[in-house]
Amino acid sequence: MAQLSRIKELSGLSLRALARQTNLSSSSLSRYLTGRLVPPWEAVVALCRAVGRDPRPLRALWAEATEAGAAPARRRNDLPADLFDFTGREAESALVEELLRTTGAAAIDGMAGVGKTSLAVHVAHRLVPAYPDGGLYLDLQGFTPGQEPLAPHAALGRLLGALDVTHPPAGTADRAALWRSELSRRRILVVLDNAVDAEQVRPLLPGAGKSAVLVTSRHRLVSLDGVPPVSLEPLTDDDAVHLFGRAAGLSLTEEEAVDQVLRQCGGLPLALRMAGARLRHRPGWTVAVLAERLRATPGRFDSAFGMSLQQLDAVQRRMFRLLGVLPGADFDAAVAGALTGMPPDRADAALEELVDAHLVQEPSPGRYRMHDLIRQYAAAIAADEEPRAEAGLRRVLAHYLAQAVANDRALPSPHRKEPSPGDPARAMAWFDLEYVNLVACFDAAVRLGMDEVVAELPQAMRVWFFRHRGTDDQARMLEAAATAAARLGRDRQRASLLADLGYVRATAGRITEALSAYELAEQSGPDDDIAAALALRIGMVRRDLGDLDAAQAHFRRARELFERIGRHAGQSQALAFDGWVTLHLGRRGEAVELARASVALAEGPARITGLVTLGLALAADDPAESLRTLHDALRLSEQHNLRHNQAWCHNCLGVALRITGSPEKALEHHRRAFELLEPLAEVQLEIDVLHAYAETCRAAGRCDEALALLGRTIELARELGRPFDEKLARSARETVRAAR
C-alpha cells in the first residue's frame, strides 16, 4: 500500500488526525497504511479526498490487492456446546437465521427458562461455518444471581481480549471504537447472552462490516436500532411432547398424564428436560406417577426442579444447594470439592449426576455452570436448608487463593530471587481461564470480611495484571486490599499494595493520584526492599511532573537502598533513570557513564532501560553507537514480547534519528510507536510519544501535523490534570506557530 502511505505523507496529518478526518479508526488506518490489511474502496476514497486527489487511478491497484487478500486471521470458536435434544423452534430459528444473514443482528427475548440461550447457541452452531473467523460467546450476567450485570467497559475488555487485544484502551468509547474496528476486518458471529437492557448491549454492537451479533435477554430490547427482536413463547404442545419424550427416553402413550406434565412445566424447555430426566431415572414409574408427584409441589418451577432433586441422594442434593452460593461464571470439580468438602473423585461423581438431571450444564469437558434460574432456586434452598453454606463458600475462596498463589509462583518476575518453578504458559492460561471467577471471589471475600483473601489475592495476580495492563478491576482490588492489610496490622503488605496501586495509576497517566498512593505507602514504614521500589517510582512521578532535581534525589536514594539489599536489577534501573534525568539536566557525559553502569549491572530485559538511556545520551556525539544501542534495546523488547517497551524503543529511535539529522526516518519510528500503543493502556507513554513526535514533525517542517499532535497532548494533559505536560505542549505550539 505504498500509494496510501504517500497519501498519508501528503496530508501532513498524524495518524489519529487523519483517522478523525476520514471517519476511520486509527487502528484500521494503521493496518491499511502498513499493508497488513487491504482497505475497502470507500476507505481509499476517503483518504484521497483528505488530500484532494482523484481516487480513480488507484482502482486497478486496489482491485489487484483485494484479489490477493490479506493473511487469514486465527479462527476462534467460544460457543458452548449445542443441545443434542434441541427440539422445535423451526419458525423462530429460520427468522433468526434470516435476520443474521440480512441485517447482521437479532435479539432473542422471552421469560426465564423459555430457551433463549439454547436457541441462540443452536442457530450459532448452524451458521458459524459461514463466518471464517469463528464465533465468540460472552455471558453479560444480566440476570445471574449474586452477580452484577457486566458493565460495557468490562465486556469490551473481554471481547477484545478474545481477539488477542490484551491491552485495550482505558475509555469505554475508545474500546467500543476499537471493537468495531477489529470486527470490521473480520467475519465473526458474536453471541451476547443474558443482557440486562439495551444500554448494556449498545456499545458492544459490531457496526459496519460482515460480522454479526445475536443477543438474548429477558427484556425486549426495542430501543436497539438495527437489532430486530425475536420473542420466544413457551413451546407448543406438540413440541413440548416431543422434547419431553426425548428427555425421558420413552414413547409416550398416556395422553392425559402427559397433558398434566406439560401444564406443570408450562411449556418451558428447561422444566421439560428436568421432568423427562426424572422419569428416565425411574424406570418403574409411569407418566401418571410423575404427573402426580409434580402436582404435589405447589409452584411450576419448584415442581420441575424439585422433582429433579428427588432423584438425587443426600450428598448430591447438598452439592446442588451449595452450588447456588458459588461466585463466578463457571467452575471445575476441584472447586465443587472445596465447596462441599468432598474428595475429587466423589465431587466428580456427584457432578455427573447433576449433569444427568439437567441441574448443571457442562459446556466444555471438565467445566460446569448452572442456568441462572436453577442457580436462583439452589440459592433459595441453601438459604433455608444449608446452615453451613458460608463455611463452604469460605473454603472455595481459600481454594482459589491457594491456586492463584501456586500459579503466580510459576510466572517469571523480577521481584523473585529464586527461579520460578512450574510451567509459565500453563500458569498464565489458568489465570486467563479463571480471571472472571477470581474477581467474583475477591468481591465475595470483601462481602464476607475475609481480609486474608482480600489482602493477598491482588498480589497473587500481580504478574498477570502486569501483562494485562488496562484490566478494569486491578485498581479497585488494590484499594480494598490495602485497607484489608491495614485492618490485619500488616504494614509491609499494605505498603506493597499501595506501591502497586500507585504504579497502576501512573501507567494510566494519573500521576498526582499515583504520588498520593506512594506517599501513603511510605507512611506505612516499609522495609528497605519496598522503600527502594517506592523511591524509584516516586522519582518517575517527580520526573513526569517536571521536578528533575527531586526526581534525581529519589533515583539516587533508590540506588543506595537497592545496593544495600543486593538487588542488582533495581540498582540498574535506578542508575538508568538517574542517567535519563542527568541527560535532561544538560550533563551528557555524566549521563553516558551512569547508563553504561546500568547496562553492566543488568541481565536480559532488565538491560532495556539502561540501553535506551545510553542510546539517547550518545545521539549527539556518537550517532552510530547510539543507533546500535537503541536497536539492541528494541531487539530485547521484541524477544521478550514487551510491547510497551517496543513502543518506547521506537519512540526513542525517532528522537535519536531527529538529533542525528534524519527526521524523515525518525517519523517512521514515531508512527510505529503509536501503532504499538494503540491497543495498550499506556497513557503515560502516549504523552511522551506525543511530545517527541511533535518535535520531530516540527524539525521535518510538518507544522500542521506538529500542531495536531500538540493539540492532542494539551487535551490529554488537561483531562488527566498534568499542568507540566500541558505547559510544555503549549510552549511547543507557540514555537511551531512562530515558525510557520
Residue pLDDT, tens place only, 638-684 = 998 888 899 999 999 999 999 999 999 999 999 999 888 876 667 77
Contact 368, 376 (CB under 8 A): no
CATH number at residue 176: 3.40.50.300
In this structure, the answer to whether residues 217 and 119 fall within a common structural domain is: yes
Q: What is the pLDDT of residue 549?
A: 94
CATH number at residue 47: 1.10.260.40
Sign of the CA dihedral 295, 298, 302, 307? negative
In this structure, the answer to whether residues 438 and 320 fall within a common structural domain is: yes
Q: What is the mean pLDDT of residues 166-184?
A: 81
Phi, psi of 230 (to 5 degrees): -130, 110
- Examine residue 124 and state whether it is found in any structural domain, yes or no: yes
In this structure, the answer to whether residues 630 and 732 fall within a common structural domain is: no
Task: Report the DSSP pairing between strands 76-77 and 361-364.
Answer: unpaired
- Examine residue 470 and state whether it is found in any structural domain, yes or no: no
In this structure, the answer to whether residues 479 and 432 fall within a common structural domain is: no
Residue 628: pLDDT over 90: yes
Burial of 58 (0-12, 13-18, 19+ CB in 10 A): buried
Q: Distance between CA 627 and CA 591 in Å, rounded?
A: 17
In this structure, the answer to whether residues 375 and 396 fall within a common structural domain is: yes
Q: How distant is the alpha carbon of residue 61 from its chain centre?
A: 38
Contact 414, 462 (CB under 8 A): no
Q: Distance between CA 183 and CA 539 in Å, rounded?
A: 41
The amino acid at residue 246 is R
Q: What is the pLDDT of residue 405?
A: 94
CATH number at residue 369: 1.10.10.10
pTM: 0.67
- Examine residue 323 and state whether it is found in any structural domain, yes or no: yes
**Model confidence at 71, in pLDDT bands (50, 70, 90)?**
very low
- Examine residue 660 and state whether it is found in any structural domain, yes or no: yes
Task: Report the DSSP pairing between strands 361-364 and 367-369.
Answer: antiparallel
Residue 6: pLDDT over 60: no
Condensed to tens digits (0 to 9), the pLDDT of residues 279-315 reads: 777 777 887 887 777 776 555 455 556 656 766 788 9
In this structure, the answer to whether residues 31 and 60 fall within a common structural domain is: yes
In this structure, the answer to whether residues 84 and 219 fall within a common structural domain is: yes
Q: What is the pLDDT of residue 381?
A: 86
Contact 600, 578 (CB under 8 A): no
Burial of 69 (0-12, 13-18, 19+ CB in 10 A): exposed
Contact 638, 672 (CB under 8 A): no
How many CB atoms lie under 10 A from the CB of residue 489? 8
C-alpha cell at 45: 476514497
C-alpha cell at 508: 494510566
Q: What is the pLDDT of residue 35?
A: 57
Instruction: Give the bridge partners for 195, in sequence order.
Output: 217
Alpha-helical (H) ranges within 34-115 are: 41-50, 59-68, 90-102
Cα-Cα-Cα-Cα torsion 645, 648, 652, 655, nearest 10 degrees, comes to 170
Question: What secondary structure letter does DSSP report for 194?
Answer: E
Question: What secondary structure letter does DSSP report for 368?
Answer: E
The amino acid at residue 350 is A
Contact 351, 336 (CB under 8 A): yes
Contact 697, 709 (CB under 8 A): yes
Condensed to tens digits (0 to 9), the pLDDT of residues 381-398 reads: 888 888 889 999 999 999
- Examine residue 209 and state whether it is found in any structural domain, yes or no: yes
C-alpha cell at 589: 557525559
Question: What secondary structure letter does DSSP report for 85?
Answer: T
Residue with cell 511522551: 688
Q: Distance between CA 245 and CA 87 in Å, rounded?
A: 11
Please tell me the total count of domains within the chain. 7
Question: Could you list the residue range(s) of the whole structural domain that residue 31 is in?
Answer: 2-68
- Mark which of 295, 310, 325 sits at the end of a domain: 310
Strands ordered across the beta sheet of 212-217: 76-77, 134-139, 189-195, 212-217, 105-109, 229-231
Mean pLDDT value across the chain: 84
Query: Which of 240-249, 492-501, 538-547, 574-583 shows the lowest mean pLDDT across its residues?
Result: 240-249
Closest CA to 148 of 620, 407, 472: 472
In this structure, the answer to whether residues 598 and 657 fall within a common structural domain is: no
∠ CA 157-715-672, rounded to 5°: 60
Condensed to tens digits (0 to 9), the pLDDT of residues 123-140 reads: 998 898 889 888 999 999
Q: Distance between CA 208 and CA 656 in Å, rounded?
A: 41
The amino acid at residue 143 is F
∠ CA 413-454-168, rounded to 5°: 55
C-alpha cell at 564: 544495600
Q: What is the pLDDT of residue 654?
A: 95
Q: What is the mean pLDDT of residues 694-708?
A: 90
Contact 254, 145 (CB under 8 A): no
Query: Which of 16-20, 204-208, 529-533, 687-691 shows the lowest mean pLDDT across its residues?
Result: 16-20
- Examine residue 738 and state whether it is found in any structural domain, yes or no: yes
| Alpha-carbon distances of 617 from 174, 342, 590, 600, rounded to whole Å | 36, 63, 9, 16
- Mark which of 205, 231, 257 sits at the end of a domain: 231
Kindly give, in sequence order, each residue whose CB lies less than 8 Å from that of residue 484, ignoring residues fewer than 6 positions away: 451, 452, 454, 455
- Examine residue 592 and state whether it is found in any structural domain, yes or no: yes
Contact 175, 169 (CB under 8 A): yes
| Alpha-carbon distances of 63 from 6, 60, 223, 698, rounded to whole Å | 18, 5, 39, 37
∠ CA 187-189-192, rounded to 5°: 140
Q: How distant is the alpha carbon of residue 75 from its chain centre?
A: 19
**Model confidence at 420, in pLDDT bands (50, 70, 90)?**
low
Residue % of the chain over a pLDDT of 90: 39
Q: What is the pLDDT of residue 614?
A: 96
Query: Which of 68-72, 184-188, 720-724 shows the lowest mean pLDDT across its residues?
Result: 68-72
- Greater confidence, 185 or 51? 185
CATH number at residue 598: 1.25.40.10
Q: What is the pLDDT of residue 344?
A: 83
In this structure, the answer to whether residues 272 and 329 fall within a common structural domain is: no
Closest CA to 540 of 558, 555, 556: 555
Question: Strand, helix or coil at 234?
Answer: coil
| Alpha-carbon distances of 616 from 447, 610, 646, 656, 695, rounded to whole Å | 51, 10, 15, 6, 15
Residue 610: pLDDT over 90: yes
- Mark which of 251, 279, 310 sits at the end of a domain: 310
In this structure, the answer to whether residues 330 and 281 fall within a common structural domain is: no
Q: What is the pLDDT of residue 306?
A: 63
In this structure, the answer to whether residues 338 and 296 fall within a common structural domain is: no
- Examine residue 467 and state whether it is found in any structural domain, yes or no: no
Q: What is the pLDDT of residue 157?
A: 86
In this structure, the answer to whether residues 245 and 280 fall within a common structural domain is: yes
Label residues 632-665 b or e (16+ Cβ within 10 Å = b).
bbbebbeeeebbbbbbbbbbbbbbbbbbbebbee
